[in-house]
Amino acid sequence: MARIILLGASGSGRTTQALHLRSLLNIPVISTSEILRLEMATATDLGMEVKSFIDAGEFVPDMLMIELMRLRLKMEDAQQGWILEGYPRTSFQAEELDFLLDELGCPLDHAIYLQASEETLMQRSRSRGGSDDTIEIIQKRIEQFLDLTIPLLEYYGYKQKLLTINGEYDLATVSARLEHGINLNL
């Protein structure tokens, strides 16, 4: 059983490593975008509330996100562990998540930060070639991530849950360091 948060800017390898850990640990990857997409597909009041924020181009408020997390972490497939990708994004969300995990009796094992230079993040993001992967947009994403993430790293560092992995290396090296860092004896 493992409960892991994966942190990293776009281009850090976060999604790739989340999928790698999922295959090793046989636990779900829970991403914010997946939760929002699934909730909007429902015709529930909660789903319609989420859709109203998304349609207006706004962030879903923290308290609504934590309620969506509560519902998702209570699902059967998450009872043996999970990997959160893209959540939390702020130290407030991290604190609220800790309260939720205490309530559910499932404390966090690791908050893993895949650290990479701005140059690497820029290069990897540009190589994906998406329509929204212009230099200006990528740079803005990196700046926003760094602004929000420094307090988050300090929060998990203080809690002694933070593991920083150098994401500059090739996929196999980063994966091996990640496995070693969380003491996977596979």
Read off the pLDDT band of 106 (50, 70, 90).
very high
User: For 60, what's the count of Cα atoms within 13 Å in the CB-facing half-sphere?
Assistant: 26
Query: What are the pLDDT digits (tens) for 160-178?
Result: 999 999 999 999 999 999 9
pTM of the model: 0.88
For residue 185, the 8-state DSSP code is -
Task: Please tell me whether the peptide bond between 28 and the residue prior to it is cis, using omega within 30 degrees of 0.
Answer: no
- Is residue 62 within 8 A of residue 68, CB to CB? The reply is no
pLDDT per residue as tens digits for the range 29-57: 999 888 999 899 987 898 899 989 888 87
Domain layout of the chain by residue ranges: 2-31+81-181
Look at residue 177 in the predicted model and tell me its pLDDT: 95
CATH classification code of 2-31+81-181: 3.40.50.300
